[in-house]
Each structure stands twice: as structure tokens, then as C-alpha cells.
A and B are shown apart, each in its own frame.
Chain A
Amino acid sequence: MSILVDASTKVITQGITGATGFFHTRGALEYGTRIVGGVTPGKGGSDIRFTLEDGGVKRVPVFNTVGEAKSETGATVSVIYVPPTFAADSIMEAVDAEMELVICITEGIPVLDMIKVSRYMEGRCTRLIGPNCPGVITPGECKIGIMPGYIHMPGHVGVVSRSGTLTYEAVHQLTARGIGQSTAVGIGGDPVKGLEFIDVLKLFNDDPDTLAVVMIGEIGGTAEEEAAEWIRSHMTKPVVGCISGLTAPPGKRMGHAGAIISGGTGMAADKIAWLEACGIRIAPSPAEIGRTLARMLEEHGIMDSCTDKMSIYRA
């Protein structure tokens, strides 16, 4: 079990003929993800050919519109690799086509565009993840996005994060200890985005196969604090947290558009204090996420259910 995506999920790529879209669609196909179509306006009606590492060839049909791609293929999820200038429009097209889930990888979308997008999504059924995110992976079943698939391992720990490479680091630490993941979700580093920590935590809480959660936050905004409040009153599963940016100076945008301490809010130390007050176990350093989780799983007596000792992975 997992959240959001699994082995049966049918996916289309918006921007499939662009270099980035092509590259990562091939990566998804290599992983076994069911990519059933692509969208590039003006290239509809053609096929795009992927040669995989094992020499196999996959052909993916290209459509002019998301609506057409959906009705022809039965896809429920769309992933977006469209440049930032056009990405907001692409998200809205996918929402209009009533895709169940839209994952937007694109970095650099103007924040006012995202405000429009979130207004447009009100009252509609689509869930959005991102933008400016690594994507979503249910290990062994479905990889959508730019994360390296092989560091993941199927299992029972949910991972949710605002970061990309720091998530890989955390996942790597879990896998190295034989602790697999149910699903890893990168919600992205932008200030206005789709799913927030709370939304993903709710899904993990309701997923019988997720037994514990790792939540990786950073400076800027108050999403971690809001999530912590929710965890305190609703979460039935143990959560380990990590917040990066203790050494970040105020007023500077630390790479991510959303990672900025402004007006005295969004500081790492405040977030950590808040999370701890809500019962979240904080990893004393980013290198100790795996260790901290392992200790907590032991304490809850669920270490054995979360560990696959047969398949401890070596880098």
C-alpha cells in the first residue's frame, strides 16, 4: 500500500518532447512507471520512442491537449516539465481535464501565477503537488519525477519534504538501515504550492501500510508549525522531523523561493521548538535522520515491521 500513486497508476507527461520531460519520462519508464501518453501542443498524433537501458523500446503516444490524452489513455495522473513561463497554464489545463493528481516539477513559476492557479483549483477535484519539487515515488511501483529511483526501497515509512536532495539524503539513510518507504513525497520549495505538509500527513495517517513518517522542513513560512499542530491532535503514527536552515541569515532567499526568513517568521529554531512541543522527534542533525527514526521505531516496537533485513542495500 502507499499514498497517491501505485503500480496501477497511469501517467501522462506534459512537455514530453522537451529535453527535461523526455529525459525523466525515460527514467520513469526504466523504473516501471506506466507512462501511457504525453502532451505537447502541436505534436499530437505522433509517437515518441524511448530506448531503455535494457535495450527495450517503448513508444508513447503524444497528444495536443491533456483532455485528449486523458480520454484516449485513461491516465489519472499528469506530471509537468513545462518551462516556468507556461507551467501555470499547463497545471490549469490538467485541472480542467479533471486529472486526479498533477505533479509539477518546474522551478521558477512566478508566485502570482501560482496564486491564480490555486484560486482556479478551488472547488475542483484535482490534487496538485509542487511546483519546484522532485515528485512522488512509491518504491518498487511507480516513480514520477526527478528523484533517483534506486536509493528507495519498498516499506512502511512515509517521507514528506520541502527539499529535493535532502530528501534523497534522508531516504538513503533509511534504506541503508533496511527501513523501506511506503511513499516519498516532495511538496516543493515554493511559497504558494499544491499539497502542504498537513495534506500529505493526513494521507499517511489514513494509509494502513504507513507505520511512521519522516517530515523534512526548512526555513520560511509556517507550514511546519501548522503541520505540527495537526500532528499533536490527530496523528496516530510517530513522526520524526528535521528542519534545515539554522544558519541561514534573515532576509536572504536560500535557493528555494520559499526559503526565506522574513519579518521574524520562518526561523528554523522556532520551528524546531514548535515541532518538539507537539511531540515530534527532531533529528539532532540532518545526518541523523535515519538513526533518530530507527530509535523511535524501536521505542514503538515497530522496528521489525518496518525493516526488511534481507534486502539491506549497499550503495
Chain B
Amino acid sequence: MTVADRVQPVDLDLAAQPPSSAFRRWLAPATFAVFGLVNIFVLGLYSHSGDATFAFSQAFAKVTVPNLSLPAATTCYVCGAITLVIAAVRAFAPLGMALKRVSIAVVVFLFIVALLCWADAGLTTAFNVVNLLQGTLNDSIPIMLGALTGVVCSRSGVINIGIEGQLLLGAFTAAIVSTVTGSLWLGLVCGALAGSLVAVLLAVFAINYRVDQVVLGVVLNTLILGLTGFLYDDLMVPYTNTLNSPPTFTAIKIPLLGDIPIIGPVFFDATVFLYLTYLALAGVQVGLFATRWGLRTRAIGEHPVAADTVGIPVLAMRYRNVIAAGVIAGIGGAYFTIGSVGAFGKGMTSGEGYIALAAMIFGRYTPFGAISAALLFGFMTQLQSIMSTLNTPIQSNLLLMTPYIVVIIVLAGLIGKVRGPRAEGIPYVKA
């Protein structure tokens, strides 16, 4: 046999598959199938007899939408059957990227429908969908804003693990300033500045002193958790009335838009925080992808040396972006106190900064993606809190885990490998 004979190309498609790809290939269909089976055998079989009723209007709405009643068990079976079909299609038919994503969305949607039917079956109270969605949007505000902060930092080449700390200090500062001055707006501004104060620390140590950014972020979070905890115990608790009883923003209903059924109350009847979130989303999305600032920001996050050689000041720009992005997270933090419950509580952000980080990655470092992911997590949290009031036979602690379980499943299984900006987390050293 000559060499020429032996230089036959091997079958590329078979040879090119790394060993782990079989696992990847079957993961999504298998997960779908599990969802389908749960819909049928857990939710369907064990549901109470009777109908599940869903309401689509809030009390006092100008235009009302009639309630919808579904036979609970049957709906669960139908959802499960459709899910199994999707699992089979996903397993055996070649789908494009877009269709794959749609399939994930549909499976999750069907699971939620089945879950709600099961939970509401046979109850006299209707399950209010508008409340669920409205709560979702509002509850997700800190996660959404935190994720946007993360997107701007990462795109600039700095990993921001300190979002949690930014939220917490924002919440604390907004509460104390609003209480002392009596001005909500001043509280909001100071909360925002607190977020960027944390960012200043992050920027100085990460950009100037090139400290490992993951370690740095965790240290910052711990520092702020300790600091606010200490101040809370020693100042706020003894002087609750003078230091920790801020007013809260009230909802502003946008004329006309706010009266549209379903959409109105969900999107256009909220505190200023939600409207600021819209602004931040639009600003970051347009800014990153359609302006000079955005092009340069993405350049310093991908290939800072190239940016430097065309005269872009890499370090200065990273500084500016990280600090400016801190404002967004600071506002998100302020929502915890003056946008929602009022008084500050120790460690009240309870890890939402980390969820924001996950949302950023899950959203592939794009503003829209990050917001969608944040909404998914917010939805799970909201669902859990509403279900726990429905007298469902699930342990409430078990329910509390669901948002995090969804994060894990989504990140590990369905999203696959997300490539971040190439220079993310690598300090830039001028040659």
C-alpha cells in the first residue's frame, strides 16, 4: 500500500465529533421528555378533579377580559403529549438555531400551564394571570438592571462579580437617604451613586492593580454585606424611625397605554423603576450596537491591543464604562427599598446579584438576552410566591428552590457553550 492510498480522508462528520457531543445531543430531548412525563404522570394524574380558572383582569380595570376555565387533568395530559412530541422532533429532526430556541420556550410554557392547572384545579378562586405577570416584571427589576450592568462591564472586558454588592449598597443608601431627607428622588440618586461607588473600587483594583476579578468581586460583595449588616444592626435597628423608614414610590399609570387589557397593567402601570429599566435596556442595546461608544466598548472587550493601536484609550474607557454601569445596578438596588418594601433589611438582596450574572451569561452578553433571562428567573420567583398562597400540597421550601433549579437546568443543559468577550477578565497591560 502506498502512502498515496493511505492519505484517504476519513469520514469527517463522524471523526469530528468529540466524545461529549453525544451527551449534548441527547440532553435537550431527554430534558423535554422528562418535562412531558412530569406533565402527564405527576401533574395530570395527581390533579384534583374540576376546572382550573384563570383571570386576565385586575379589579377595577376599565376593560375586562372574561375568565378562562380549563379542565385541569385533561389540559395537563394535552400539554404533556405536545411536549413529548416536541422532544421526539428535537431528537430526530435537524432543527435550526431559531427553532431550537422556540422549542425550549414552548416546552417551558406548556410546563407552566400544566403546573398552574394542577395547582388551581378545583379551587374556587381564579388564578390571576395579570397579577403573576405584573409581579414578574416588578420582581425582576433588580435582576434586569444588574444584568445590564454586567453586560456593559463584560463587554468592556471586566468581569463584574460585584453586582450583588452594588445592589445591596444601593438598597441601603436609598433607604437611609430617603428616610433622612424625606426625598425619594434624592434617595434614588444616592442609591445609584452607591452602585457606582462599588464600581469605582472594582475598577481601581481590577484595572489599575490587576487583581483577579472573580476574587475581587466576591471580596467586594462580602465587604458590603458585612458593612451594611453592621450599620443595620448598630444604627438602623435602634433608630428605625429616623434612619430606616423611607417612603416608597407609588405606581404611575401611563394614560391610555395603561388601560389596555392585560398589557396595560403589566407594562404601563408601575413605579418609575420599571420605566427606568426600559430606558436602560434601550440605552444599552442601542448604545452597544449602533453607536461609536458601543463599537469601541466591544473592541476593548474583545481585542484591547487592536483598539489601542487605533488610538482608543483602553484603560480610561474601561474605567468610565465600569463606573457608569454601576449606576444602573445602584438603581436596581434602590428598588429593593424605596421601590418595593421600604425598610432596608440585612442581606435583603439574597443573591439576586448572582442571578443577574447568570442572566447575563444565559442572555449571551446581549442586553435583550440578559433581560429575557432575568424575566425568566423573576417569573419563577413570582410563580413560587403565588403558588405558596394557593394551598398547593408542595412544601414551600421546595418551591423556593425552583428559580435556582431552573437556572441550573437552563445554564448547564439547554443553552450550551456561551462565548463571552475574549478579553473579559484579562487586565490590559500596555506593551
> Is B a genuine binding partner of A?
no
